[in-house]
Structure 1
Amino acid sequence: MRFLSTIVRMYPRRSALTLISLLFASIAEGAGLLFLLPMLSMATGEKTFVTGSLPSGAQHILMQSLSVVGLTPTVGTLLIVIVFCVTVKGAFLLLAKTQVGYTVTHVATELRLSLLQALLAARWEYYVRQPVGSFANAVGTEAMRASMAYLEGAKSTTLFIEAVVYACVAFVVAGKTTLGILVPGIVIFYGLNRFIRMAHRAGNRQTHLLKSLLAGLTDSLQSIKPLKAMAREELIGPPLKSNARRLNRAFQREVLSTELLSSSQEILLTVIIAVGLYVALSRWQMPFNIVMVMVFLLARLLTCLAKMQRQYQKMRTLESAFWSLQAAIDGANRDREAEPGGLPPHLERALCLDKVNFGYGKHRVLWNASLTVPVGSFTAIMGPSGAGKTTIADLFTGLLRPQQGHVFIDDLPLDSVDLRQWRRMIGYVPQETFLFHDTVLQNVTLGDPELSEADAEAALRAAGAWDFVIARPSGIHSSVGERGSTLSGGQRQRIAIARALAHRPKLLILDEVTSALDPETETEICRMLRGLLGRLTILAISHQPTVVESADRVYRIRHGEVSLVTSDHDSGLIPIMPQA
């Protein structure tokens, strides 16, 4: 019940309206059932009631209620009243079901939005630790299963309220008979809970395996091209197939538990009703009209309880998806990016690292590192793989925070500025270019409403990409294909640079953007970058000689320490002074 109580706290007004509607619907049905017995008494000529049947006082109250509204208690009148009660029940039930349906859609939508909001606000380190496929699974599969769990729980609640009303009416009509059938029925339902626990375990297993399967599938598809090129794609099959088979077994366990519960209920409840009917007719010799009503009431009562238990079983099977998704949201919120100060950044003189230390766990990356990127310069950072070049870029963007030391924008520490405003001043091109399966225009503007097609064209021209873009069949509206598969490596890189330039940044950060390009394309891109000087500041992370030779200022990272070097095209790179 913790799951349902959590949903009720999330949607208190809608849940209250649903419960009130269900209550009035059940009361209306109960009133209709109470009028059924006097009607049968009149139709069959029964004038007296045995002990434990509908008390004459209750019958008198029913008849008086008709007289108050000016109705004569005849068979026809009672039938009209019963139909009216059923109509009222239907109206309230429609309202309740509508609210449940709305809540189901809200549960899925708000869980997705909460996860997306938490992910977008999380620190960069959080993403590094998480498989991308698990997020896709959470947004798609888990959100839908969580909403279905709520739907099954709401159905179970509806049936429980109906069962309570049937039980109350049955006690009014024949309390001893109701008690004699209801007690063993409840004992049986309690004993059948083992099948609910079985389904719950199967549901937990399904949630775990779906997350693992989709995470593995996402990772595998991202690397499918090189694997197929080497005829090694079959190597990713066994673990995925193993997870799929285990998931199939978990679904089979759910099916088995569901069918066992349903079959057991049908057999045992039939026995209870048969025994109760025999005792009522043979031992207690109850009037036939009372027996007819009691058979109807108790059959409905036990049927409601049986359905309620089956719906509850389905809810228990699905609810693990809600808790898994909630855990993902809570995890991302715990790793929420800290809000720095609110001072506006300007970048008018220089961007600096001052005696910065940084490491991942026990692995030291930077030690007492200091460097300066003057405004309007083309600064390059070189060093071996893993030396900390990208870490410096992440420190400048605020994706990582120094463990010691400071990052300065002019004279302002990065911790004191509005981080989002600062990042809007940055154009960033990663080493692994990512392009969406969309048009060139969408890949450049990212759908930003503040950027027009003219802005995209200006960025493409500045990146040296306009000539090949306009030569495509639909020009700027041409699709680039999956991950930019219809473009060459150099073309993909130029579109990525255009994307970084589209919002007119003050700082352009390039992370190994030419490492996978041929020398001619690399030279063209470096020439294009030199042409951007005067409009922005460039920080390039690279070990490529062409990029280094194009830079005004070059830093080398080695063993966590940063030193400034000068470019001498004849003698190579010569260290001149380490930064303090």
Structure 2
Amino acid sequence: MRLMLHFFRAYPRHTLTMLLAQLLAGVMEGISLTALLPMLNIAVGGTKTSGIGKSVTSALHAMGIAPTVPSLLMVVVAGVLLKSALVLLADRKVGYTVALVATDLRLTLLRALLGTRWEYYLSHPMGSLANSAASEVIRASTAYIHGTLAITYMVQCFVYAVVALMISWKASVVAFAAGCLLMVLLNRLIRKAKKAGRQETSLMQSLLSRLTDCLQSVKPLKAMGREQLAEKMLEEDTLKLNKALRRQVYSKAVLKSLQEPFLILMIVAGLYATLVLWNYELPTVMVLVFLLVRLLGEFGKMQRKLQELATCESAFWSLQQKINDANRQKEPNLGQKKVELEKNLRFDGVSFSYGKVQILKSVSLEIPAGASIAVIGPSGAGKTTLVDLVTGLLRPQQGEVLVDGVPMGDMDVKYWRSKIGYVPQDTVLLHDSILANITLGDSGLDATDAEAALRAAGAWDFVSAMPEGMQTIVGERGSKLSGGQRQRIAIARALAHRPALLILDEATSALDPESEKAICETLASLRGKVTMLAISHQPALVKVADRVYGIKDKAVVLDRPEPAMVSTGG
């Protein structure tokens, strides 16, 4: 029940309301049950009323009500109606809380993931994170339902036990002992279900991680006729998952099938004990048997819900671990200074390493505001690391990155990033309209801003020629567009919010020469309008640069000075 204690601490008001409603509902049912004994005694013509039956008749006399069959039936009906109303209140509160649990877990996960350091994403498969936001959140919130229902049945057991104690302590002790014996004997099935639930969680993560990777690579796989290899891997994980689910189903079925004969056996034993051994009167026997049936039935339901809880519990703890891991690597808030890139961006003796592997060593360079700078070098030389240092995604182990003379550690980094337009090598477009891909849902941008960005990126001609214009759906990852068109949309997206710095990280490396030339002509038209930092291992972008740096032996050297610096006021 550790998981339920966590939920209780997280949602105390909702949980207490539910528990109070269930407890009152149990009390109402208890009152109904206590009225059964004197009513049955009157119905069979009995003259002797004792114990709880005498207490009920005395209470009715005190209220001026004659203890007749109709009046006792009214007590039973009133208790049942009140119980139903309270159960409805409790169920509604549980339903609302389940939706709240799912929403809170999902938002907590998303905030943790989006607030974490860049390095976190390098070691966590995207499919596993997507699985957490979908499957694990649903299973975790479902665990709350099973847990609260288990507690509901526990409350009902308590009520039946109290009423039974008031009628016969012997029968109560026997029924309670039988319930405990039932739980002990069948507890192994709960442990099996819990183990199968952990396997389901692990296998779902593996399956969705591989599925995400395969779908992202489906085009080259199909082009090479090797999709059957991906199918084989996915099939293997799917069959393992099926085995885990079958074990869950089997343990649930066995638990239910063993509970029913045990319940019949206890009813028979109860009848024999009350009628033969203890010589109870028939009305008392009837009420006790009814209580025994209900008590053991609620015990069985409680155990089945605990089993359901056990199968879902691992999803919650897996989700919680991801949230905690992401929070532990939360990106720190650095400084408060807001920079605009009015003067320059400068590297001052910057060194960076991934573990023991040094990427950059004592790098010093300057990017004047309004200039177009190209950094060239072979793959793996450290060009993308340079970009990540500019954006603040990485922090140098030595030296400092400064914007307008302000060190990165003193900046409001989120504000600085809002001044950056970024075009990556692998252009990822949303499966949405061109307009949505440019604005990304930014309420500060509209169709006019999108059109201006498309024109600046040299994309307006082909977009306006489409039947639906900016409302054209680009397909998964922009698959309905050519490579050059996708890249121009990506440039328009980077320009839409009018950045101070435009970064192009290998933005033309995947294009054919003609498309690359066209993109370079577009970039040339932006010279002087925005500061540009182009990263490439190809020479095409060099032609549009005012200054060219090369990366060699982990150092950045001036490869070609500018012929004439562009005015920063342009």
TM-score (norm 2): 0.97
Q: Matches of 2:171 and 2:110 in 1, distance apart? A: 56
Q: Establish whether residue 17 from structure 1 lines up as the match of residue 17 from structure 2.
A: yes
Partner of 1:550: 544
Aligned to 1:62, the other structure's residue is in SS state: helix
Partner of 2:66: 72
Q: Matches of 1:378 and 1:33 in 2, distance apart? A: 86
Partner of 1:267: 261
**Contact 2:198–2:311 at 8 Å: present in 1 too?**
yes
* Structure 1 moving runs of 4+ over 4 Å: none
1:71 CA drift (Å) = 1.9
2:495 partner amino acid: L
Q: Matches of 1:309 and 1:505 in 2, distance apart? A: 60
Aligned to 1:464, the other structure's residue is in SS state: coil
Q: Establish whether residue 84 from structure 1 lines up as the match of residue 53 from structure 2.
A: no
Partner of 2:386: 392
Q: Matches of 2:463 and 2:561 in 1, distance apart? A: 35
Partner of 1:329: 323
Q: Establish whether residue 440 from structure 1 lines up as the match of residue 440 from structure 2.
A: no
Q: Matches of 1:81 and 1:545 in 2, distance apart? A: 92
Q: Matches of 1:361 and 1:84 in 2, distance apart? A: 72
1:47 CA drift (Å) = 2.3
**Contact 1:458–1:502 at 8 Å: present in 2 too?**
yes
Q: Matches of 2:135 and 2:56 in 1, distance apart? A: 52
1:41 partner amino acid: N
1:41 CA drift (Å) = 1.1
Q: Matches of 1:283 and 1:15 in 2, distance apart? A: 44
**Contact 1:23–1:161 at 8 Å: present in 2 too?**
yes
1:67 CA drift (Å) = 3.2
Aligned to 1:95, the other structure's residue is in SS state: helix
- Superposition pairs of residues 121-520 of structure 1, within 5 angstroms: 121-520=115-514
Partner of 1:32: 32
1:420 CA drift (Å) = 1.0
Q: Matches of 2:25 and 2:562 in 1, distance apart? A: 88
Q: Matches of 2:206 and 2:62 in 1, distance apart? A: 67
**Unpaired runs of 5+ in structure 2?**
564-570
1:31 partner amino acid: I
Q: Which moved more, 1:255-264 or 1:68-77?
A: 68-77
Partner of 1:572: none
Q: Establish whether residue 110 from structure 1 lines up as the match of residue 104 from structure 2.
A: yes
Of 80, 89, 93, the match for 1:99: 93
1:568 CA drift (Å) = 9.7
* 1:293-317 Cα distance to aligned partner (Å, 9 max, x none): 0110000000000110011101101
Partner of 1:7: 7
Q: Matches of 1:187 and 1:47 in 2, distance apart? A: 38
Q: Matches of 2:109 and 2:344 in 1, distance apart? A: 37
1:103 CA drift (Å) = 1.0
Q: Matches of 2:186 and 2:471 in 1, distance apart? A: 61
In the alignment of these two chains, the number of paired residues is 563
**Unpaired runs of 5+ in structure 1?**
570-580
Aligned to 2:353, the other structure's residue is in SS state: strand
1:171 CA drift (Å) = 1.1
Partner of 2:558: 564
2:280 partner amino acid: M
Aligned to 2:148, the other structure's residue is in SS state: helix
**Contact 1:382–1:389 at 8 Å: present in 2 too?**
yes
1:421 partner amino acid: Y
* 1:431–1:422 Cα change, 3 Å: same
1:370 CA drift (Å) = 0.9
Partner of 2:566: none
2:25 partner amino acid: A
Q: Matches of 2:540 and 2:195 in 1, distance apart? A: 60
Q: Matches of 1:511 and 1:108 in 2, distance apart? A: 38
1:80 partner amino acid: M
1:534 CA drift (Å) = 2.2
1:535 CA drift (Å) = 1.8
1:111 partner amino acid: L
**Contact 1:22–1:161 at 8 Å: present in 2 too?**
yes
Q: Matches of 1:121 and 1:538 in 2, distance apart? A: 27
1:109 CA drift (Å) = 1.2
2:415 partner amino acid: Q
1:276 CA drift (Å) = 1.7
* 1:41-77 Cα distance to aligned partner (Å, 9 max, x none): 111122226xxxx52xx44432232234332211100
